[in-house]
């Protein structure tokens, strides 16, 4: 029996994956649960196992190509008469190309004339037969953008169109428009910068840096960014952590850092400012019940990833520190899974550990805000007491909040920073 392998959906927000490496080639036998391909989704690489024993007959997509999930990427022959347990479930969503029962509609339709004109003039350069089938089945220009043509120079064939027609509701509901037409940059990939001299070196983005670049550009286009700042006296937290870090290590087997305390304070402050713990969408925003706290993590190769601490509001300081350390270690070992970096509702970026005084971070979409923590430095400060003002050496840090100005106004952002400042400056550890 012939069938097709595809990249399964690997998370709520994952709609596509980039092929990193084919682990099998045409003609190879793949055992059930044996990985046959390595893919990348949102900076995380995963091996995909075969759902049944099969022989690879053909491969439709190659290394570095980006493919929507659930789209056939290889034609296979199921071996030993084995019928996968989920085959019928799969068929409910995607129909195999072996089914040739679909024929062009012969009934007269009320297809919009403007849409017909769009199809006739489409850049896909449809053949007369394919164009006729598209018009008779009310296929729009937007629909054609879902189809990755298998013909010469990527032309859409009759079989490509039949397959889409049978599965168009699945495509339309699961995949964003023009997903196959997205690029990391608007600059053509083969373009060469001007003014290159003989000793210059051109560095092309690697896969992860390309994803980061695209994500940042999309965020700046999507959201009007504003940033508010606050200087916070962190002396109490620094003193407590430095005095108790050995006790935490002995009693709980965790290395406690300043960042763990700040994360705990941020989660507490968000409780009073729910609009910051939200996701935006075209007509407004969604207030998220749980705080899924993202924290920017530098990787050994110099790239950046943002793993997510889920339901952070339910964790005490010790539990929070343990989970953050475990996730950060997985990131450094490149062992994160797609679900480890999805669904964040608010993000913290601690650039201070690299010596940065302050920052203006870019919002991690679809979130509406991100907090940057600067370097902790000693400063002479005016301290108010009942006996009058005096100068003391204090440990201080800048916190900067970048936010989506469509949703968050300056007063709301400033109030959040004031709340966070009060929590940190009046810190008292409670088990």
Residue 155 half-sphere exposure toward CB, CA atoms < 13 A: 12
Say yes or no to pLDDT of 369 above 70.
yes
Considering the segment(s) 1-99 as one domain, its CATH architecture is Beta Barrel (2.40)
Cβ neighbors of 349 (< 8 A, separation 6 or more) are 295, 296, 359, 361, 370, 371, 372, 373
User: What does the pLDDT read at residue 430?
Assistant: 57
**What does the domain layout of the chain look like in residue ranges?**
1-99, 100-182, 211-425
User: What does the pLDDT read at residue 232?
Assistant: 97
Q: pTM of the prediction?
A: 0.62
**Measuring CA to CA, how many Å separate 304 from each of 42, 133, 295, 297, 349?**
11, 47, 10, 6, 11
Cis before 366 (ω within 30):
yes
**pLDDT tens-digit series, residues 404-418:** 999 999 999 999 999
Percentage of the chain lying above the pLDDT 70 cut? 80
Q: Which residues are catalytic?
A: 405, 409
**C-beta separation of 122 from 141 below 8 A:** yes
CATH of 211-425, one of 3.40.50.2000, 3.60.15.10, 3.40.50.300, 3.30.559.10: 3.30.559.10
**pLDDT tens-digit series, residues 83-130:** 655 444 444 344 444 443 344 333 333 444 444 444 444 445 677 778
């Amino acid at each position: 029996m012939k069938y097709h392998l595809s990249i399964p959906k690997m998370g709520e927000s994952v709609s596509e994956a980039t092929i990193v490496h084919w682990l099998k080639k045409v003609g190879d036998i793949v055992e059930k649960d044996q990985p046959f391909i390595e893919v990348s989704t949102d900076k995380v690489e995963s091996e995909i196992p075969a759902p049944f024993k099969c022989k690879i007959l053909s491969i439709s997509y190659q290394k570095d190509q980006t493919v929507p999930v659930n789209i056939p990427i290889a034609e296979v022959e199921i071996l030993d008469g084995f019928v996968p347990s989920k085959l019928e479930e799969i068929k409910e969503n995607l129909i195999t190309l072996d089914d040739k029962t679909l024929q062009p509609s012969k009934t007269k339709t009320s297809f919009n004339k403007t849409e017909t004109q769009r199809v006739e003039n489409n850049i896909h350069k449809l053949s007369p037969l394919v164009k006729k089938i598209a018009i008779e089945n009310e296929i729009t220009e937007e629909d054609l953008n879902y189809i990755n043509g298998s013909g010469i120079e990527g032309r859409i064939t009759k079989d490509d169109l039949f397959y889409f027609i049978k599965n168009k509701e699945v495509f339309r509901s699961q995949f964003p428009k023009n997903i196959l037409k997205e690029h990391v940059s608007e600059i053509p990939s083969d373009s060469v910068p001007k003014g290159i001299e003989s000793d210059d070196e051109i560095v092309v983005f690697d896969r992860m840096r390309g994803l980061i670049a695209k994500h940042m550009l999309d965020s700046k286009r999507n959201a009007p960014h504003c940033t508010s700042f606050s200087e916070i006296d962190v002396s109490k937290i620094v003193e407590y952590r430095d005095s108790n870090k050995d006790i935490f290590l002995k009693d709980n087997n965790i290395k406690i850092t300043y960042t763990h305390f700040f994360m705990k304070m941020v989660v507490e402050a968000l409780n009073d400012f729910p609009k910051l713990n939200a996701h935006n969408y075209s007509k407004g925003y969604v207030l998220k019940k749980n705080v899924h706290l993202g924290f920017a993590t530098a990787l050994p190769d110099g790239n950046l990833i943002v793993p997510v601490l889920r339901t952070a509001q339910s964790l005490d300081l010790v539990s929070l520190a343990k989970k953050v350390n475990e996730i950060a270690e997985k990131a450094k070992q490149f062992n994160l899974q797609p679900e480890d970096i999805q669904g964040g509702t608010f993000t913290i970026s601690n650039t201070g550990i690299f010596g940065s005084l302050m920052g203006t971070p870019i919002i991690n979409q679809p979130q509406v805000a991100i907090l940057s923590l600067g370097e902790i430095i000693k400063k002479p400060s005016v301290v108010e007491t009942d006996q009058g003002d005096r100068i003391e050496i204090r440990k201080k840090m800048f916190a900067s909040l970048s936010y989506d100005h469509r949703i968050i106004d300056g007063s709301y952002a400033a109030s959040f920073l004031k709340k966070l400042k009060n929590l940190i400056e009046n810190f008292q550890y409670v088990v």
